[in-house]
Structure 1
Amino acid sequence: MTVALMWEARALAGRGEELLAWARAQELPLAPLRRETFRAPQDRVLVITWWDAGLDAKLPELPEPDAELASRAVHRWRFESVEG
């Protein structure tokens, strides 16, 4: 089964590039099958990692950024693949 972990944070106004750089620099103790990083309006950053694991597996996730960088708590979601 493939599980996708989504991590989304919103930077303080004008600090989107710093949050993006911070998220890209975060290393995980295990390597996912795939990892992609996105940015969006309102200084939001999204990181999706794909894992060969069950939906309830204990997997490494990106941490919370410092309060001086993020405007709110990180949003996290887990999805399982339903292909074919």
Structure 2
Amino acid sequence: MTVALMWEARAAEGRGEELLAWVRGQVLDRPPLRRETFRAPGDRVLVITWWDAPYDASLPELPEPKGELTTRAVHRWRFEPVAES
């Protein structure tokens, strides 16, 4: 089974590039099948990782950025694929 982990944060005002650089520098304990990083207006950064694992598996996740790099706690969601009809 494949499970996708989503990590999304909003940078403090004017610190979007710094948050993006921080995310790119984060190394997980083991590599996912796939990892993609996105950005959006409002200095938001999104990372999605794909894993070959059960939905409730213990998987490495990106941490919360330290200090005042973000304006709020990181949002995290876990998804499983749905068969196409």
Superposition TM-score tier, normalisation by shorter sequence: over 0.9
Q: Size of the alignment, in residue pairs?
A: 84
Task: State the match for 1:53 in structure 2.
Answer: 53
State the Cα distance separating 1:68 from its structure 2 match: 1.2
Please provide the CA RMSD for this pair.
Answer: 0.8
Task: State the match for 1:75 in structure 2.
Answer: 75
Task: State the match for 2:20 in structure 1.
Answer: 20
5+ residue gaps, structure 2, are none
Secondary structure class of the residue paired with 1:22 = helix
Q: TM-score scaled to structure 1, two decimals?
A: 0.96
Once residues 24 and 81 of structure 1 are traced to their aligned partners in structure 2, the CA distance between those partners, rounded to angstroms, is: 26
Counterpart amino acid of residue 80 in structure 1: E
5+ residue gaps, structure 1, are none
Q: TM-score scaled to structure 2, two decimals?
A: 0.95
Once residues 83 and 26 of structure 2 are traced to their aligned partners in structure 1, the CA distance between those partners, rounded to angstroms, is: 29
Counterpart amino acid of residue 26 in structure 1: Q
Counterpart amino acid of residue 34 in structure 1: R
Aligned-pair identity (%)? 77
Counterpart amino acid of residue 13 in structure 2: A
Secondary structure class of the residue paired with 2:35 = strand
Show structure 1 runs of 4+ deviating over 4 A.
Answer: none
